[in-house]
Amino acid sequence: MDPKHLWIDIVDLGKKKEDLAPGTYLETDMGRVLVQTKTWFCGKCHRACVDLDHAKRCCACSECGEYLGEEVGAIHRECYDKAQKKREQDRWDKKKLVSPDEVDWNERVLSIEWSYVIEDPEEALEIYLDDQHPTPIKDLLDTEIVLMKKDPWKDVYIEPILERVDEEYFEEASEHLHGVEELEQAFRVFNEINREKFSAWIECDEKVRVRDLVAWLGKTDWLEGKWNGEEEERGGETESNPGE
């Protein structure tokens, strides 16, 4: 067996495929295995696989192809982290960089890690910069922030409820229910109210650069690395502002 590979063919067991009938069992030093047409075995755990591709991937990392060793799962943790980081970077790179003056700020908000959506871009940016403390503002100017757009209300319908009744009781049981018309009217009112008042936001395919947004807001002191006119004193604790 080639030590560079994680798989072995049945001929490596000293048997010829044509001498073995599919469906029979073969006693080997790996144990009792079922003979299949074109059977391949994992060279590490000795599991019988349906084809060469499955045998190659059985005990191999799905990302780098190397032996998994004692790790649980189908991928090395380090490989998973690296792949996840690359996917995130690719997703970020695909977003369109837009100028703040091109954005309809009634339909877009900054995507920042906060407990609720901040619709005012200046307030949201201030929270974003404050949250990055103690990183200097000048080091944040070339970072980018993804925008979010409104997610329209999706009407809720009565039909799934009626179907559930039919499934739980008997066929066409929903036709024998009382108050269905009243419930339908309640759903109509419910949808109309939420189309107007419900607010939800989802990430869109646009992003803005902090430097451009700061300039658009006219925050010249931020461009100079100052916070409310003071050198790098903003939120949180600093040497000059240690907190209580």
Summarize the confidence of residues 64-72 as an average pLDDT: 77
Whole-angstrom distance, CA of residue 242 vs CA of residue 8: 65
Domain borders along the chain are 7-78, 96-151+200-231, 159-197
Whole-angstrom distance, CA of residue 108 vs CA of residue 175: 45
Which residues pair with residue 42 across a beta bridge? Answer: 7
| 67, pLDDT greater than 50 | yes
Summarize the confidence of residues 172-195 as an average pLDDT: 94
Burial profile 199-229: b = 16 or more Cβ within 10 angstroms, e = fewer:
eeeeebebbbbbbbbbbbeebeebeeebbee
Summarize the confidence of residues 138-150 as an average pLDDT: 91
Whole-angstrom distance, CA of residue 190 vs CA of residue 188: 5
Nearest to 36 by CA among 18, 24, 22, 55: 22
Q: Which amino acid is present at 230?
A: E
Tell me, what's the pLDDT at 244? Answer: 38
Tell me, what's the pLDDT at 30? Answer: 59
Nearest to 143 by CA among 135, 151, 155, 153: 135
Q: Which amino acid is present at 18?
A: E
Nearest to 26 by CA among 38, 34, 37: 34
**To the nearest whole percent, how much of the chain has pLDDT over 70?**
73
Summarize the confidence of residues 214-226 as an average pLDDT: 85
Tell me, what's the pLDDT at 104? Answer: 93
Q: For residue range 93-132, what is the model confidence (pLDDT) as tens digits?
A: 899 999 999 999 988 999 987 777 888 999 999 898 888 8
Token pair of 30, please? 């790996």
Kindly indicate the confidence band of residue 17, based on its pLDDT and cuts at 50, 70 and 90: very low
The pTM assigned to this predicted structure is: 0.58
Kindly indicate the confidence band of residue 25, based on its pLDDT and cuts at 50, 70 and 90: low
Q: Are 236 and 242 in contact (CB under 8 A)?
A: no
Whole-angstrom distance, CA of residue 150 vs CA of residue 203: 9
- DSSP 8-state code for residue 172: T
* Tokens 């901040």 belong to residue: 118
- My answer on whether omega of the bond before 134 falls inside 30° of 0, hence cis, is yes
Whole-angstrom distance, CA of residue 118 vs CA of residue 99: 19
Q: Are 208 and 144 in contact (CB under 8 A)?
A: yes
3-class DSSP string for 78-95? HHHHHHHHHHHHHHHHCC
